[in-house]
Structure 1
């Protein structure tokens, strides 16, 4: 895989970079004039700053279907553990990362080799892909599939926390309200728009119109409805080496069924938590956290147990290489080097490799 050259090391985001990323985490599609007014900078300066970060693969904005779609029966989220034969891990990971319905690929420590996040239209499509896709892929020795029942929090809600309360409020006040429109069936146009936005969450209405064949006004109205229904989530990411939390840790846990909701609320309130989801199988909770170091991972687990004593950690793994996240491809250091346009429908019609 090739892509932009990463920023030179050692490098750190300065105060303006951090403020810009935080602003875009709150208002990912806000125009530069609005962003600049909150940061006390002119539009040209913030646009130039953002271009520098994106060209270096240090930060990017993506878009993906929201969990509300799965709750409405329009999608299914699954986490698949993949064991690879000796010498095949990199080939398998690259093949999986190239698939438009695989949103994340993580090389992890522990018993499994890869943790893969998959979106599918329904259970039939997921089964089709697991049996005919993964089942026919050379280099895979075993898989274990965990279905997500509820997503309590995910990456689009995570914040860098570089702005003050006043700046946060000004940005949040300008964002459209979510959940005001009922969830509705996705159309081919919606899928086309999601594919473009998954690569560039700040794509203009004109660019979206050119790619989809619809008029800019139609695109604007459609996106407005999608966001108003809370069906899309746009997120601004930063390369992990440039954040204060460069180490990602995956925790599998078990909670009494009657306490799952209350325990999950406690877990999602922890700053380091990037993902908390109820899952099926021998574990019923999956937690992904960003921490400051390997030693901090152990301290974090202690703090997590103190905050949520009803959670029993049954397994844990460190992410050795986050190869793909939210559709974007990363190098070994965590910098963006490309993206794969997202298409949830692909799980029902394609397989990675046919023998």
Structure 2
């Protein structure tokens, strides 16, 4: 089990993924060599990993479509289906769940037609799958890339934000895409390492890394093996929310640290919320808080998620430790849940 310092280091890198150990030493009041050793252990033990990716935000505004797809499997074939789904780049996440479906996956394509086609030709056709049901995402309010551990004090958070280059509107360039690919699974790679891979001068590479770090269309994600580090379960709540309550409900969910993803969806419920839980009792408390604050909300359904098999392209073992990465090159935009 990780301790408080491990969580502080992870939280710090969620805010500023390329902060130097010397800078972080001052923020955490911990020796830089200790921080470096802890981070190396977390990585080598496959309990922590990183991702850098193009969020595809401009394409989203031009009509990109994401969808959550329920999958039903033949009895005894679920593991085979998971392996096949996880190998496909356009499928960013694969989750085991409860109820009438065995799994749900998150995909993204440029259009409704292409989403429908992908589900039919590349998901429903997999041997061992007997049925699918698609829920299109109408609007995403927040996702996993913005989720934080909240292991740091407000002063520490502010210090790290001040050390990071401010976010700005950076033009997309082919050179920046090359940098993103080089940093895709390790946002902390040195400029020298990236220079050796790209063949460009180290000064240009360092400049481009800084530009990518500040670009408003780039996401830097630090994630961890949630089951090994204290989160034993997850759940999806399907809510029916009145339009007049929608903004207030979403604002409340944004401030709920268990909530990692929230989107308007098509179907019998109109709002889906993914929660990370330390135990299932937390779900009862969260539901009570929501329905007490907003009596008109209807909880249409709840799915328990005992295992996340793939998250943001990273394939995970049964214990949620990192196994391998499937490059994120198959979708119009990327959402991390």
Do the structures match in fold with TM over 0.5?
A: yes
* Comparing 327-336 and 58-67, the one that deviates more: 58-67
When normalised by structure 1's length, the TM-score is 0.84
Corresponding position: 1:31 with 2:17 = no
Residue equivalent to 2:309: 323
* Secondary structure of 2:62 counterpart: coil
State the Cα RMSD in Å: 2.6
TM-score by length of 2: 0.88
Residue number among 160, 171, 188 corresponding to 1:202 in the alignment? 188
2:272 is the alignment partner of 1:286: yes
Aligned residue number for residue 257 of structure 2: 271
Given the superposition, is the C-alpha separation of residues 259 and 296 from structure 1 closer, same or farther in structure 2, using an over 3 Å criterion?
closer
Where do 1:171-320 residues align within 5 Å?
Answer: 171-178=160-167, 180-181=168-169, 190-211=176-197, 216-320=202-306
Are 2:87 and 1:87 aligned?
Answer: no
Counterparts of residues 89-168 of structure 1 (less than 5 Å): 89-168=78-157
SS at match of 1:129: helix
Q: Tell me, in whole angstroms, the C-alpha distance in 2 between the residues paired with 1:46 and 1:286.
A: 37
**1:40/1:19 Cα in 2 relative to 1: closer, same or farther (>3 Å)?**
same
CA apart distance, 1:31: 2.0
Change (3 A) 1:80 1:222: farther
Cα pair distance change 1:62/1:126, threshold 3 Å: same
Q: Distance in 2 between matches of 1:57 and 1:28?
A: 18
Distance of aligned partners of 1:58 and 1:263 in 2 relative to their CA distance in 1, 3 Å threshold? same
CA distance in 2, matches of 1:200, 1:303: 38
CA separation in 1, counterparts of 2:258 and 2:158?
22
Secondary structure, aligned partner of 1:28? coil
Over 3 Å counting, the alpha-carbon distance change for 1:204 and 1:74 in structure 2 is: farther
How far apart are the structure 1 equivalents of 2:194 and 2:64? 23
CA change 1:37–1:327 in 2 (3 A) is: same
Return 206-215 or 92-101, whichever deviates more. 206-215
Question: Does the C-alpha gap of structure 1 residues 176 and 137 become closer, same or farther in structure 2, counting only changes over 3 Å?
Answer: same
In the alignment, structure 1 segments of 5+ residues that lack a partner are: 1-11, 348-355
What is the CA-CA distance between 1:70 and the residue it aligns to?
A: 4.9
Most deviating of 211-220 and 224-233 = 211-220
Q: Distance in 1 between matches of 2:133 and 2:162?
A: 43
Q: Following TM superposition, by how much is the alpha carbon of 1:274 offset from its aligned partner in structure 2, in angstroms?
A: 1.0
Q: Distance in 2 between matches of 1:123 and 1:224?
A: 36
Runs of 5+ in structure 2 lacking a partner? none
Partner Cα separation in structure 1 for residue 203 and residue 116 of structure 2: 39
Where 2:284 maps in the other structure, the secondary structure is helix
Paired with 1:72 and 1:226, the residues of 2 have a C-alpha distance of 21
Quote how far apart the aligned CAs of 1:39 are: 1.5
> Who is 1:4 aligned against?
none
**How many residue pairs are counted as aligned between the two chains?**
333
CA distance in 2, matches of 1:220, 1:308: 50
Compared CA separation, residues 192 and 56, structure 1 to 2 (3 A): same
Partner residue, 1:353: none
In the aligned structure 2, how far is the partner of 1:251 from the partner of 1:67?
Answer: 27
Instruction: Give a deviation string over 1:229-259, Cα, whole Å, max 9, x none.
Output: 4112212122213444322111112222344
The 10-residue stretch of structure 1 (127-136 or 335-344) with the greater mean CA deviation from structure 2:
127-136
1:3 matched residue in structure 2: none
Deviation at 1:302, TM superposition (A): 1.3
Q: Could you tell me how far 1:95 is from its partner in structure 2?
A: 0.9
The separation in 1 between residues aligned to 2:294 and 2:194, in whole angstroms, is 44
In structure 2, what is the equivalent of residue 350 of structure 1? none
Deviation at 1:310, TM superposition (A): 4.3
Q: Are the counterparts in 2 of residues 195 and 343 from structure 1 also a CA contact under 8 Å?
A: no
* CA–CA separation in structure 2 for the residues paired with 1:29 and 1:133: 37
Structure 2 distance, partners of 1:255, 1:336, is: 36
Note if contact 1:20-1:46 (Cα within 8 Å) is conserved in structure 2.
yes
